Structure 1
Amino acid sequence: MKERILFLCTGNYYRSRFAELLFNYLAEKEELPFQSFSKGLRLSKRNKGPLSLYTNNYLRDKNIELPSRLRMPIPVSKDDFSYYDRIIAMDEVEHRKLMQEFFPVEENRIEYWSFADDYIEKPDLVLPKLEAKVYALVNQLKK
């Protein structure tokens, strides 16, 4: 059985989806027994479609094939905290507050990374750093 990793962000549209899609691509390529998914802590009606154009374009530029049918963003639920083996939130500053608000019991049981949203830091700066972090995670799991 594959271990399940959940990437969390606010809207499940940009950062967490990027991490999910890149991780699954790399895990399959390396034949690792891991599968990732992503969900959001506070979905937004501002999102236009299932996936950020930044995420879409960056992955396509790297020749990473996207699924033919992309799903819409999904909110995280209480049950997810027991279902997934590892949960990683994309930005501690932003997501710890949301965890305290919505899932205070789980706040300290998840990992936090430091990748700001696109209205704070430009995607052309964030995505290469997030890509490197996902690669590092995959390399760590290969050992």
Structure 2
Amino acid sequence: MSKTNRVLFLCTGNYYRSRYAEEIFNHHVRLEGLGWSAFSRAVADKLSPENIGPISPYALIALQAKGIAPDGAERDPMLCTLGDFADAELVVALKDAEHRPMIERRFAGVADRVEYWDVDDIEDLDPPTALGRIDDLVGLLIGSLQSRKP
């Protein structure tokens, strides 16, 4: 797949929100037969030692409840690099107020490429609500991609 068909989802630790968005997006675009895929990364300076395992149990449980076996369930969180921006046509950060300062500091030259959503992290919003919001936003994103010419 070419780089023009990739979406990069960003969150602080690449453990919960961005990983869920990546898996939901990839599941739905496969069902729709769209020529897109997603990957995800962390925008923090370093990964959190508080995150146990490769992906949040809340994300895994929500995916399993939808009958989705996550492709990246065994992959550890990964820090974002400038190369990740080059590999994506679209870049989405999950929380404007939280991620914009990190992105502008770490990736100033490409910060203007980022679309920001408004999905709070786990300490500010319960997982069912947050993940439901991601479901809705991913659905809107896929709808906008379906209207594009390949």
- Pick one of 12, 15, 32 that aligns with 1:13: 15
- Provide Cα deviations, 1:20-49, integer angstroms capped at 9, x if missing partner: 000000000000000100000122111000
Which residue of structure 1 lines up, in the alignment, with residue 32 of structure 2?
30
C-alpha distance in 2, partners of 1:34/1:11? 23
- Pick one of 118, 130, 134 that aligns with 2:134: 130
C-alpha distance in 1, partners of 2:72/2:111? 34
C-alpha distance in 2, partners of 1:71/1:91? 23
Q: Matched residue pairs, number?
A: 143
SS where residue 92 of structure 2 aligns?
A: strand
Give unmatched runs, 5+ long, in structure 1: none
- Provide Cα deviations, 1:102-135, integer angstroms capped at 9, x if missing partner: 1122222211111011011111211111111111
Segment drifting more, 87-96 vs 116-125? 116-125
Percent of residue pairs bearing the same amino acid type: 36
Segment drifting more, 65-74 vs 42-51? 65-74
TM-score computed with the length of structure 2 as normaliser: 0.90
Q: Do 2:9 and 2:93's aligned partners in 1 also have CA atoms closer than 8 Å?
A: yes
C-alpha distance in 1, partners of 2:136/2:52? 27
Segment drifting more, 52-61 vs 133-142? 133-142
> Is 2:45 the counterpart of 1:70?
no
Correspondence 1:46-61 to 2 at 5 A = 46-61=50-65
Which residue of structure 1 lines up, in the alignment, with residue 97 of structure 2?
93
Q: CA deviation at 1:67?
A: 2.7
TM-score computed with the length of structure 1 as normaliser: 0.94
Give unmatched runs, 5+ long, in structure 2: none
